[in-house]
Every structure is written in C-alpha cells, then in structure tokens.
Amino acid sequence: MASKKVQAFTKHQSPWAATWTALRDLFRASQDIPDPDPTINLAGVHIAITGARSGLGAALARQLALQGAQLTLISRQSPLSLAKELSEISQAPCVALSCDLSDLQQVNQLITLLSQGPALNSIVLNAGLMAQSKRRTPQGLEEMFAVHCAANILLMEGLYDAQALVQRQDGALPQVLVTSSEAHRSSPDFSPPGLLDVPDFGMRDGIRWYGYSKLLFLAWVHSFAPDHPEWSIHTLCPGPINSNIAREAPTWVRPFLGPLMRLLFPSPSKAARPLLYHLSTPSDSPHAPTYLHMQAKKEIDRRAQDPKVAQSLNNQLRPLCRALSSPEEPGSSSSSVPDARAGRSSPQEYLPTDRSSEQ
C-alpha cells in the first residue's frame, strides 16, 4: 500500500507529482546522445515547427535560424513577430502560419498550404497544451487529444500522401520529430473501442489525460514508422521546461509554480538540445523510430508498443476524416465554429514584409 502511494506520487498522477518527478528525473538523467553542434550549417534545409510561438518551439526556431535554416513557424496565434525577428538574423526566409490544430478542418487546410509551399525537409510536431478541464473541439474531440494526437495523425498522413517532405540535398531522409512527454506512462488504462471518448476531468487528473493523448500518438507513430521507412522518425520527451505550458494553472498555484519553474526547470533552449541534435545529424538510411527522454534512450510504455492501439485509432478517426473532406463536415454549421469556406477559420499565412519577395 505504502509503495503504491509512493509510486503514485513519483509519477504524473497529479500536477505536483509531475513536477516532483520531473525534478527528480533532471538529476538522474543519463546522456546517450551528445550535445548538438551549434556550428553545423543548415543553409538549404527547410524545417516546419508547430507550437513555434513560445517555449520549446520558439527556442528551437531561434537556434535553427542562427544555423541558417529556412523556417515555417506554426502556432495558434500568429508567430509573425518571431518570424520577423528570425528573418533578420537568418539569411534564409522565415514564414509564419497561424493554425488552430484543435480544429481538424484547419489542419486539412494547413496540409494544403504546406504541400503547395516550398518543399520541406523536416517537420517538428511540437504544439502542446496542458488543459485544466475537458474542452470540446469543433469536431467534438477532447482538446488535448485533438492537438497532440488527431491533428498530428492527419498532418503526417496528409504530408506523406502529398509527398511534401523531401530528402535534403545531401541525401538525408525527410525527418519527422515528435515532442512527446514522459507523462505518457501515467495515462489511464483504456479500452481500444472507445479511444476518442475522454471523460470529464479536472485540474488533478488533467495531467493523466494529457499523458493519454501523448501515449496514443506515440503508439500511432511507432506503428506508422516501420511501414514508411523513407521518413526518419524520432520521438522524445524534452524533460521539464520553464515555458508557458502551465498557463492554465489556477491563480492560487501560480505564485508557487512560476518561481519554481524559473528556478529549477531548464530553459527552453537547453531543453531543445535533443531536437537540435536530430536536426543537425539526420539519417541517410532507414531506421526504427527512437524515443529519447532528454538525452537518454528509453523504451516507450508497453501500451504504446501495441499495434492494435494504432489500428483502433485509425478505424475510429477515419469516419471523422472522411466527414472533414465532404462539404457538410461536422461542426461547420455550429455557431462557435467560423465557416471555413468563407475563409474565416483558414490558417493564416504571414510573410515578414522585408522577406516576402524571396518566397
């Protein structure tokens, strides 16, 4: 009984347990991959990053711009000011796209934009949120499941079908990097027939449903990768980050959590190291998907290794995806959902004015 209590506290069963576990892991972490080399020149490499406006995504974008990469920054609110800043420091173009990934109709439109734009070499699926209660998306999904799992599945399948990711000039394989979380291990158990049905949750157990959304996408990616060896796919947990992820924390928690995160959690630029390592040392031959926890190699949770989970996800998401491509998609008539066909909920594209002529 006592050991069960200890286990519950040292995993991600509540926000405080997750914070404690993250801190403990920081001091225990081993290092299986080296630090990335910031002098590697990424000129001619085009990388898209979701969740690029703040935290990990923004820090990664900054470093990649310094190394000369061409960037497409994507987030819910426009990352235009960051794109402008980065196009000043990089010799390569930097484009800002705003897209709400919780709305699968917008994700579809994003796929079209990315497929019709300049060829991509890598995409970093990094957007994320820690919701404090269940919220429904325009398609009726739970928001974290939509952003961390459904949107990413749609994006990967759409970009694959459109052959939007291409090899680098030096022959390196197109890359997909997935920002996951160790919290996937604390996902509640689930039964494959009802994967889209997330129950109501509150602040205490929100972290476990966050873990659930991360676990399901890990299961899907690790089952997709072996059938798509022409893509190099890596998944990872960056470890704790002093970022905006706790932006929904209740007001009474913020006076404690903010200083704790600033004092003890690594900066986003430090947490970006494993992503930078993969982007700077791409593979030129097929490999099994990998999972890193910070810079240490780990196995994913055994539930995410079950191919039946990915199969069930595909079966349950398919009707939703079919409905999205038909003119009467669910949600299009809802008053809370702007009419995509009128262009109001389409992803918006912004080009920093001084660089737009280079596109």
Ligand X SMILES: NC(=O)c1ccc[n+]([C@@H]2O[C@H](COP(=O)([O-])OP(=O)(O)OC[C@H]3O[C@@H](n4cnc5c(N)ncnc54)[C@H](OP(=O)(O)O)[C@@H]3O)[C@@H](O)[C@H]2O)c1
* 51 lines the binding site for ligand X (CB under 6 A): yes
* 138 lines the binding site for ligand X (CB under 6 A): no
- One-letter identity of residue 236: L
CB of residue 143 vs ligand X: minimum separation in angstroms?
Answer: 7
Order the strands of the 290-293 sheet from edge to edge.
296-297, 290-293, 232-237, 175-179, 122-125, 46-50, 70-75, 94-98, 348-350
Among 82, 114, 147, 177, binds ligand X (CB under 6 A): 147
* 186 lines the binding site for ligand X (CB under 6 A): no
Sign of CA dihedral 100, 273, 268, 212: positive
CB-nearer residue toward ligand X: 128 or 138:
128
Among 11, 14, 48, 55, binds ligand X (CB under 6 A): 55
CB-nearer residue toward ligand X: 36 or 79:
79
Q: Which stretch binds ligand X (CB under 6 A): 126-134, 195-203, 290-298, 303-311?
A: 126-134
Q: Which stretch binds ligand X (CB under 6 A): 69-77, 219-227, 276-284, 304-312?
A: 69-77
Question: 321 by DSSP, 3-state: which?
Answer: helix
CA distance readout (Å), 280 to 38, 73, 223: 8, 18, 25
* 206 lines the binding site for ligand X (CB under 6 A): no
* 218 lines the binding site for ligand X (CB under 6 A): no
CB of residue 279 vs ligand X: minimum separation in angstroms?
Answer: 16
Q: Is residue 253 packed enough to be buried (19+ CB in 10 Å), middle (13-18) or exposed (0-12)? A: middle
Among 64, 129, 337, 340, binds ligand X (CB under 6 A): 129
Among 65, 101, 113, 233, binds ligand X (CB under 6 A): 101
Among 13, 70, 100, 301, binds ligand X (CB under 6 A): 100
* 236 lines the binding site for ligand X (CB under 6 A): no
* 141 lines the binding site for ligand X (CB under 6 A): no
Backbone angles phi, psi at 47, to 5 degrees: -125, 130
CA distance readout (Å), 138 to 102, 103, 173, 212, 216: 8, 6, 35, 20, 20
Long-range contacts for 305-308 (Cβ within 8 Å, ≥24 apart)?
A: 305/219, 305/222, 306/219, 307/223, 308/192
* 139 lines the binding site for ligand X (CB under 6 A): no
Q: Which stretch binds ligand X (CB under 6 A): 97-105, 199-207, 250-258, 343-351?
A: 97-105
* 241 lines the binding site for ligand X (CB under 6 A): yes
Please give the Cα distance from 79 to 82 (Å, whole number).
Answer: 5
Q: Say which residues have a Cβ less than 8 Å from residue 176's Cβ, sequence separation at least 6.
A: 122, 123, 125, 156, 165, 221, 231, 232, 233, 234
Query: Two tokens at 265?
Result: 């959690």
* 80 lines the binding site for ligand X (CB under 6 A): no
Which residues make up the interface to ligand X (CB under 6 A)?
51-57, 75-77, 99-102, 126-129, 147, 179, 181, 237-238, 240-241, 243-245, 268
